[in-house]
Structure 1
Amino acid sequence: MGTKEKEWVRDADAHPWLFKEARAKRGYVRGEDWAECLVHALAGLIGVPSACVCPAIRDGRRGVLSRSVLSGDERLEHGNELLTAANPKYDKTNARNLGYTVSAVNTALAPVEAPPCMPLCMTGFETWSGYLMLDAWVSGCDRHHENWAAIRTVHTMRLAPSFDHGNALGFQVPERQLNSLASSDNIERWSKKGVNRYFRGKPGPVTLAAEALNLCAPRAAKYWLGRLEDVSEDHVQEMLQAPPDRILSEPRRNFIEKLLRTNRRRILDAIGPCAGRARPS
């Protein structure tokens, strides 16, 4: 699925990993590889289960390796399959249809358990709402109905970790434009332009996260907002320093740092009062 070049490889223990090539435009390799790795690390900061990824080069091509989330006889059922099971009229072949809504996902995930790493009281949908909060934090706009899934076993069905995060953190912004986006006001304007074109109405990521968290039990919404509110900016800065300068320039690090700070505030402003949390100072 998708438009990136992909190839399965196996590690020394024979576990499969998917190599995904970072796409190039006019000879310039765009940043889907570093974006996916950074989002995986950021997901860990707020407790979102995320498929393990690492940077990779294969045959001279830059990309990432993503570890398969399946083991044994497990099977992956993507969101479009779950939505069709809940509503036979849902067109699972059309990634952009009016039936793709947060409410529809809530219904489709009713029989799906949360991943085992989540708090015991968390449901599958409440965990998925955290995935949307992650999207909003990193300006991710690619949560289409095949970009989330459940893992089915003989006896259970649980939400799969979040995956495929390359379309985030402004990876597509050319280096020459970063200086013009340096101010917080410009970054906020840029952030607000982003929409998820797959959901009905093409809402922005913050709007989607707010809608999902408002459908959750208050304890779940407070959990996710608390995790986001407690993020240490020092930890974020450490993560941004990990990629070498040839991959992530200093102007881009500054842009991402300001983007994350801006989106964090936007999320807490939009959702915090509804969840009964005081607004951060």
Structure 2
Amino acid sequence: MKYEIFDVSQYQKDQVEPLGTKSKYWCSGPDGHDYLFKSIETYDSNHNLVSRGGEDWAEKIACEIAKFLSIPCADYSLANNGSSRGVITKNFIGKNNAYLVTGNEVLRNYSSFAMQEELAKAERQDILGVYSILRRIIRYKPVGFNSLPGVKTAADFFMGYLMLDSLISNQDRHSENWGLIVTGKKRHLAPTFDHAASLGRNESDAEKERRLLSRDKGQQVATYVLRAKSYFYLRGVRLRTLKAFQFFGVLTPAAALSWLEHLGKLTLEEMQAIINKVPTEVMSDVSKKFALEMLVCNKSNMMALIPFFEESLEPAFRKWQMKNYE
């Protein structure tokens, strides 16, 4: 059975969403819930209409993978508003008195002056600064989601977000693509959201085919995925998605191992099932093959880190870590 494509052309359009660069707006569905529609079409700096094909299927696949891995995430569905493809997601904030605060606001208000300077440099969010914010300011896990063995706090759950980023090669975890939800006096980590810049969606089918068939190691998918960049920095150096996952795992090794145990259950068959449910009119066969190969390569790279994280649990290492990072 393929994923349903929801027709939202009759949903009542409420307001334009100010965050981000894509054409998106809030609308009211027939069920009375508020939904955010995100189009794959947007306008460039010269006000020309451009299509970012693949952002819809990348978002949907990332969502389904996150749900399989028990990672709290916004629930995305494929959609069409009559003139454009896209996705819709239900408002995840919940209670009327609750509200979302994005990461850039948190970092601006609570980071040291040096870290604020880094943030001002093209969204340079220091990964140690983010870890500190999660430990000191946010602290609580996402609302409505259960704790897991070794995964209790906001930092532990954020470790899962970075695992997802590395798995799908998500290169868009900037400081407006994570945040906290304030409920009363508590600050909870928000579910993960916005994963459209992943799974090679920006590459042409011809480029994907070339890499899938290439005998040149430097052009193959296994090498391609290692180049994915995160929005996290360490001492002024931008980290690759795998390195961001690895470094944050040093700070939260028990959570890293717990998430990797979940990842181990994501078999090739499960990956194929999730990808193949995308309708062919939305995602081409070569894009499906390429996305699957990316998942296989990234999973292998992360699973290979299990001994490293096990070593990070050793008392001597933890004592050093507490002194230097916590």
Shared fold per TM-score greater than 0.5: yes
- Counterpart pick for 1:119 among 143, 147, 151: 147
Question: Aligned residue for 1:157?
Answer: 187
Question: Aligned residue for 2:307?
Answer: 273
CA contact (8 A) 1:22 1:29 kept: yes
Alpha-carbon distance in 2 for matches of 1:226, 1:214: 16
Runs (4+) off by over 6 Å: 24-27
Calculate the aligned-residue CA RMSD, in Å: 2.2
Change (3 A) 1:29 1:79: closer
Alpha-carbon distance in 2 for matches of 1:27, 1:84: 32
Change (3 A) 1:82 1:46: same
Change (3 A) 1:29 1:246: farther
- Counterpart pick for 2:122 among 67, 85, 96: 96
1:219 Cα offset (Å): 2.5
Q: Which amino acid aligns with 2:160?
A: G
2:59 pairs with 1:36: yes
Write the deviation string for residues 224-276 of structure 1: whole angstroms up to 9, x where unpaired. 1111112122121111111122221221111111110000011122x211222
Alpha-carbon distance in 2 for matches of 1:194, 1:272: 21
- Count the aligned residue pairs: 274
Change (3 A) 1:13 1:241: same
2:249 pairs with 1:213: yes
1:23 Cα offset (Å): 2.9
Question: Aligned residue for 2:90?
Answer: 67
Alpha-carbon distance in 2 for matches of 1:165, 1:106: 21
Q: Which amino acid aligns with 1:220?
A: A
- Counterpart pick for 2:228 among 194, 197, 205: 194
Structure of higher CA gyration radius: 2
TM-score by length of 2: 0.78
Matches within 5 A, 1:10-29: 10-23=28-41
2:162 pairs with 1:136: no
Alpha-carbon distance in 1 for matches of 2:208, 2:123: 34
CA contact (8 A) 1:126 1:213 kept: no
Name structure 2 gaps, 5 residues minimum.
1-18, 43-47, 312-326
Question: Aligned residue for 2:110?
Answer: 86
TM-score by length of 1: 0.90
CA contact (8 A) 1:35 1:171 kept: yes
Change (3 A) 1:26 1:252: farther
Q: Which amino acid aligns with 1:102?
A: I
Change (3 A) 1:70 1:264: same
Write the deviation string for residues 169-198 of structure 1: whole angstroms up to 9, x where unpaired. 000010111211115940012112221255
| Helix, strand or coil at the partner of 1:258 | helix
CA contact (8 A) 1:18 1:66 kept: yes
Write the deviation string for residues 22-73 of structure 1: whole angstroms up to 9, x where unpaired. 0379876510011001100011121111101111111321111121111211
Name structure 1 gaps, 5 residues minimum.
none
2:257 pairs with 1:222: yes
